[in-house]
Amino acid sequence: MRLVLWAAVLVSAAACGADQSRKEPAVTAPDSITVTSSAFRDGETIPRKYTCDGEGVAPPLTWKQIPANAAALAVVVDDPDAPRGTFTHWVVLDLEATAATLAEGGVPPGVKQAKNSGGKTGYYGPCPPSGTHHYRFTVYALSGPTGLPNGADVGEALEAIDGKSIARGRLTAVYARQ
Protein backbone atom coordinates (compact mmCIF):
# COMPACT_ATOMS: atom_id res chain seq x y z
CA MET A 1 0.00 0.00 0.00
CA ARG A 2 2.83 2.41 0.87
CA LEU A 3 4.52 1.58 -2.41
CA VAL A 4 1.35 2.48 -4.33
CA LEU A 5 0.99 5.77 -2.43
CA TRP A 6 4.67 6.61 -2.99
CA ALA A 7 4.31 5.93 -6.74
CA ALA A 8 1.21 8.15 -6.87
CA VAL A 9 3.09 10.99 -5.15
CA LEU A 10 5.99 10.71 -7.61
CA VAL A 11 3.71 10.71 -10.66
CA SER A 12 1.77 13.67 -9.28
CA ALA A 13 4.95 15.66 -8.60
CA ALA A 14 6.28 14.97 -12.08
CA ALA A 15 3.01 16.08 -13.66
CA CYS A 16 3.01 19.40 -11.75
CA GLY A 17 6.29 20.42 -13.31
CA ALA A 18 5.63 19.04 -16.77
CA ASP A 19 4.45 22.29 -18.34
CA GLN A 20 6.93 24.49 -16.52
CA SER A 21 10.17 23.39 -18.16
CA ARG A 22 10.58 24.73 -21.69
CA LYS A 23 13.53 25.29 -23.92
CA GLU A 24 14.09 28.64 -25.51
CA PRO A 25 14.00 28.61 -29.31
CA ALA A 26 17.35 27.27 -30.54
CA VAL A 27 18.01 30.10 -32.95
CA THR A 28 21.17 29.87 -35.02
CA ALA A 29 20.47 33.28 -36.58
CA PRO A 30 22.73 36.17 -35.62
CA ASP A 31 22.20 38.30 -32.51
CA SER A 32 21.79 41.49 -34.54
CA ILE A 33 18.75 43.09 -32.87
CA THR A 34 19.28 45.62 -30.08
CA VAL A 35 16.66 45.38 -27.30
CA THR A 36 16.23 48.03 -24.59
CA SER A 37 13.73 49.15 -21.97
CA SER A 38 13.15 52.58 -20.47
CA ALA A 39 12.40 50.79 -17.16
CA PHE A 40 15.82 49.11 -16.67
CA ARG A 41 19.12 48.48 -18.40
CA ASP A 42 20.82 45.25 -19.37
CA GLY A 43 22.07 43.49 -16.25
CA GLU A 44 20.09 45.69 -13.85
CA THR A 45 17.27 44.75 -11.46
CA ILE A 46 13.73 44.69 -12.83
CA PRO A 47 11.66 47.27 -10.93
CA ARG A 48 9.11 45.75 -8.54
CA LYS A 49 6.24 47.21 -10.60
CA TYR A 50 6.85 44.62 -13.35
CA THR A 51 6.93 41.59 -11.00
CA CYS A 52 4.49 39.50 -8.96
CA ASP A 53 5.39 41.67 -5.96
CA GLY A 54 4.14 44.81 -7.74
CA GLU A 55 1.54 45.47 -10.41
CA GLY A 56 2.71 42.58 -12.58
CA VAL A 57 2.50 44.62 -15.79
CA ALA A 58 4.81 44.01 -18.73
CA PRO A 59 7.68 46.51 -18.96
CA PRO A 60 8.06 48.74 -22.00
CA LEU A 61 10.41 47.31 -24.65
CA THR A 62 12.07 48.90 -27.66
CA TRP A 63 14.19 47.31 -30.39
CA LYS A 64 16.06 48.27 -33.53
CA GLN A 65 18.10 46.70 -36.33
CA ILE A 66 15.38 44.33 -37.52
CA PRO A 67 16.54 42.65 -40.77
CA ALA A 68 14.89 44.03 -43.90
CA ASN A 69 13.64 40.56 -44.85
CA ALA A 70 11.74 40.04 -41.58
CA ALA A 71 8.03 39.38 -42.10
CA ALA A 72 6.97 39.30 -38.43
CA LEU A 73 8.35 39.55 -34.90
CA ALA A 74 7.96 37.57 -31.68
CA VAL A 75 8.89 38.39 -28.09
CA VAL A 76 9.73 35.77 -25.46
CA VAL A 77 10.42 36.48 -21.79
CA ASP A 78 11.86 33.57 -19.84
CA ASP A 79 13.74 32.60 -16.68
CA PRO A 80 16.52 30.05 -17.24
CA ASP A 81 17.15 29.86 -13.47
CA ALA A 82 13.75 28.35 -12.59
CA PRO A 83 14.05 25.24 -10.38
CA ARG A 84 12.51 22.84 -12.94
CA GLY A 85 14.07 24.29 -16.06
CA THR A 86 13.38 27.41 -18.10
CA PHE A 87 10.07 29.05 -17.19
CA THR A 88 8.48 31.06 -20.01
CA HIS A 89 6.82 34.20 -18.65
CA TRP A 90 5.47 35.69 -21.87
CA VAL A 91 5.21 34.87 -25.58
CA VAL A 92 4.03 37.54 -28.02
CA LEU A 93 3.40 36.29 -31.55
CA ASP A 94 3.22 37.79 -35.02
CA LEU A 95 3.92 41.45 -34.33
CA GLU A 96 4.28 43.45 -37.53
CA ALA A 97 7.89 43.51 -38.70
CA THR A 98 7.77 47.32 -38.71
CA ALA A 99 6.91 47.46 -34.99
CA ALA A 100 9.67 48.93 -32.85
CA THR A 101 8.14 48.88 -29.36
CA LEU A 102 5.79 47.26 -26.91
CA ALA A 103 4.24 49.77 -24.54
CA GLU A 104 4.14 49.15 -20.81
CA GLY A 105 1.35 46.80 -19.87
CA GLY A 106 0.79 44.70 -22.92
CA VAL A 107 0.39 44.36 -26.63
CA PRO A 108 -1.36 46.32 -29.39
CA PRO A 109 -4.90 45.26 -30.32
CA GLY A 110 -4.99 42.18 -32.53
CA VAL A 111 -1.55 40.89 -31.52
CA LYS A 112 -1.56 37.29 -30.29
CA GLN A 113 -0.05 35.87 -27.13
CA ALA A 114 0.65 32.23 -26.34
CA LYS A 115 0.16 30.67 -22.94
CA ASN A 116 3.03 31.08 -20.51
CA SER A 117 4.52 28.24 -18.46
CA GLY A 118 1.93 29.01 -15.77
CA GLY A 119 -0.78 27.99 -18.25
CA LYS A 120 -2.29 31.45 -18.71
CA THR A 121 -2.24 33.68 -21.78
CA GLY A 122 -0.30 36.91 -21.30
CA TYR A 123 2.51 38.32 -19.20
CA TYR A 124 3.43 36.56 -15.95
CA GLY A 125 5.70 38.86 -13.94
CA PRO A 126 8.97 37.60 -12.44
CA CYS A 127 8.34 35.77 -9.16
CA PRO A 128 11.41 33.68 -8.24
CA PRO A 129 10.85 31.22 -5.37
CA SER A 130 14.32 31.97 -3.97
CA GLY A 131 17.53 33.72 -4.88
CA THR A 132 18.28 36.00 -7.79
CA HIS A 133 16.99 34.92 -11.20
CA HIS A 134 17.86 36.18 -14.67
CA TYR A 135 15.03 37.23 -16.99
CA ARG A 136 15.65 37.27 -20.72
CA PHE A 137 13.56 39.61 -22.88
CA THR A 138 14.24 38.30 -26.39
CA VAL A 139 12.94 39.76 -29.66
CA TYR A 140 12.95 37.41 -32.65
CA ALA A 141 12.74 38.47 -36.31
CA LEU A 142 10.75 35.85 -38.21
CA SER A 143 10.71 34.86 -41.88
CA GLY A 144 6.90 34.75 -41.70
CA PRO A 145 4.09 34.84 -39.17
CA THR A 146 3.61 31.78 -36.97
CA GLY A 147 -0.10 31.70 -37.78
CA LEU A 148 -0.87 30.43 -34.28
CA PRO A 149 -4.03 31.53 -32.49
CA ASN A 150 -4.21 33.60 -29.33
CA GLY A 151 -3.70 31.27 -26.34
CA ALA A 152 -1.58 28.75 -28.28
CA ASP A 153 0.39 26.21 -26.25
CA VAL A 154 3.74 27.60 -25.08
CA GLY A 155 5.69 24.64 -26.50
CA GLU A 156 3.99 24.92 -29.88
CA ALA A 157 4.67 28.68 -29.92
CA LEU A 158 8.37 28.27 -29.10
CA GLU A 159 8.71 25.62 -31.82
CA ALA A 160 7.06 27.92 -34.37
CA ILE A 161 9.38 30.78 -33.40
CA ASP A 162 12.38 28.46 -33.64
CA GLY A 163 11.37 27.33 -37.12
CA LYS A 164 11.00 30.86 -38.49
CA SER A 165 13.72 32.86 -36.68
CA ILE A 166 16.21 34.75 -38.81
CA ALA A 167 17.66 37.04 -36.11
CA ARG A 168 17.29 37.88 -32.45
CA GLY A 169 18.30 40.32 -29.76
CA ARG A 170 18.15 40.10 -25.98
CA LEU A 171 17.92 42.26 -22.89
CA THR A 172 18.66 40.41 -19.63
CA ALA A 173 17.75 41.68 -16.18
CA VAL A 174 17.59 40.19 -12.69
CA TYR A 175 15.10 40.00 -9.86
CA ALA A 176 15.12 38.59 -6.31
CA ARG A 177 12.15 38.72 -3.96
CA GLN A 178 12.72 40.59 -0.70
pLDDT tens, residue by residue, 125-155: 999 999 999 999 999 999 999 999 999 999 9
Query: For residue 137, what are the β-bridge partners?
Result: 77, 171
Domain boundaries, position 95 = 2-176
Type of residue found at 115: K
Residues sharing a CB contact under 8 Å with residue 19, sequence separation 6 or more, in sequence order: 117, 119, 154
Structural domains in the chain (count): 1
We report the CATH number of the domain holding residue 92 as: 3.90.280.10
pLDDT at 8 over 80: no
Q: What is the pLDDT of residue 31?
A: 81
In this structure, the chain runs to a length of 178
Quote the pLDDT of residue 29.
67
Give the mean pLDDT of 7-23.
37
Instruction: Report pLDDT for 25.
Output: 58
